[in-house]
Amino acid sequence: MIEEEILLEQEDGNELFENYRIEVDKGQSLLRIDKFLMDRLEQTSRNKIQQAAKADCIKVNNKPVKPNYKVKPGDIVQVFLPTAPREIEIIPQDIPLEIVYEDEDVIVVNKQSEMVVHPGYGNYTGTLLNALTFHFQNQKDKDGNPIRPLLVHRIDKNTTGLLLVAKNEIAQTFLAKQFYDHSVKRTYTALVWGDFDQMEGTIEGNIGRSIKDRKIMQVFPNGDYGKEAITHWRVLFRFGYVTLVECRLETGRTHQIRAHMKYISHPLFNDDTYGGDQIIKGTTYSKYKQFVQNCFKLLPRQALHATTLGFIHPSTRKTIFFESKLPEDMNAVKEKWEAYINYNRPIEEEADQNIIDQSKHEVSNLK
């Protein structure tokens, strides 16, 4: 009997996904792929493997296969699975939700600020999953089983906007694969400090945990640490001291937009984690400083909103697209900046020029 040698690799992708590659030894006898994988993927049930096959997330030689496919010597097997969540009791809570869309497979919500997505240390209640568990408590799937929310991506506590959640394992696996492949169409709207020389651009730089502060993410441009991250940005409105931009994610790293914008010296407005809660750009005009402080009070969070979301539906296999308007706090600050620039900038420029002229006069007197 020839001993099998199998290469098993787990790619270092997003924390919500696992991607395996198995090279089948030349001595492998014919065997159903679900049984084959059960022997090689620890703590993975046959049901989960079969669900992955139904979602076209098991491929042999780059082609999707069914659970009854029989592996042959030399086959290259690729398996994509959502990461098993930590075992934690999610208590149903009657928390208001803005539901944008819902069917048997998915639900799209417009998440509000201050809401954590998943229960964890310090946030075991009041999360989006607590709210969805309550919302689903009287729903059953086609087999009569209780429906529970299954994550395929996350957004930060103080980031608002569109979030997609699966309602069954086939949908979760199918959607998670799209996030892993970066085929989901996502754009964010952000208000950032400073102006841009160009109308659009791309930020590239690996993102990983900061070496000095593990609570924040850092950009590593040399690629020697972290994971590949690519953000495309486009100017929407210029307000001189701040700019409203659209950000399109090519990858989906933790704090990607916040870290990338900090890296290019345009931190998000009032982002206290990445330095955007300081008055970075502007004038010495006292009314300007007061104006910025008033904006901070009106928008007590980073100015970031998940605006659009497009993906292939797990059942219909058709692309569906959703869009969310700016929330009230971001829109109010945008309008304040618009009005401020229109009415106050000439005054500020004159005040600054007076300071410059006075400085020149003082220097002249010293000569």
CATH number, residue 37? 3.10.290.10
Most confident residue range from 117-131, 201-215, 317-331: 317-331
Both 128 and 175 in one domain: the answer is yes
Both 219 and 363 in one domain: the answer is yes
What is the count of structural domains for the chain? 3
**Which residue in the block uniquely carries the two structure tokens 């998940």?**
306
Count of CB atoms situated within 10 Å of the CB of 90 = 19
State pLDDT tens for residues 321-365.
Answer: 999 999 999 999 999 999 998 877 655 555 454 433 444 344 344
Single out the residue of 245, 246, 251 nearest to residue 204, CA to CA: 251
Single out the residue of 242, 144, 128 nearest to residue 190, CA to CA: 242
State pLDDT tens for residues 57-115.
Answer: 888 998 988 888 998 888 999 888 776 555 678 899 999 999 999 999 999 999 999 99
**Which residue in the block uniquely carries the two structure tokens 């998440």?**
111
- Cα atoms in the 13 Å half-sphere on the side-chain side of 53: 18
Strands 76-82 vs 58-60: parallel, antiparallel or unpaired: antiparallel
Torsion of CA 140, 142, 145, 146, to 10 degrees: -30
pLDDT band of residue 284 (cuts 50, 70, 90) is confident
Single out the residue of 61, 98, 58 nearest to residue 81, CA to CA: 58
Q: Is 282 left (phi over 0), alpha (psi -120 to 50) or beta?
A: left
The domain boundary, picked from 82, 114, 139, lies at: 82
Please say if the pLDDT value at position 10 is more than 60: no
Both 196 and 131 in one domain: the answer is no
Both 71 and 93 in one domain: the answer is no
**Which residue in the block uniquely carries the two structure tokens 């069914």?**
66
Mean pLDDT of 259-273: 97
For residue 9, what pLDDT is reported? 40
Query: What is the pTM for the complete model shown?
Result: 0.80
Burial, 87: exposed, middle or buried (Cβ in 10 Å; 0-12, 13-18, 19+)?
exposed
Q: Which two tokens stand for residue 87?
A: 């075992």
The domain boundary, picked from 119, 154, 181, lies at: 181
Active site residue 156: yes
Both 37 and 148 in one domain: the answer is no
Mean pLDDT taken over the chain: 86
The domain boundary, picked from 62, 82, 102, lies at: 82
Which residues form the domain of 177? Answer: 85-181
Both 115 and 68 in one domain: the answer is no
Both 136 and 232 in one domain: the answer is no
The catalytically annotated residue of 34, 105, 156, 271 is 156
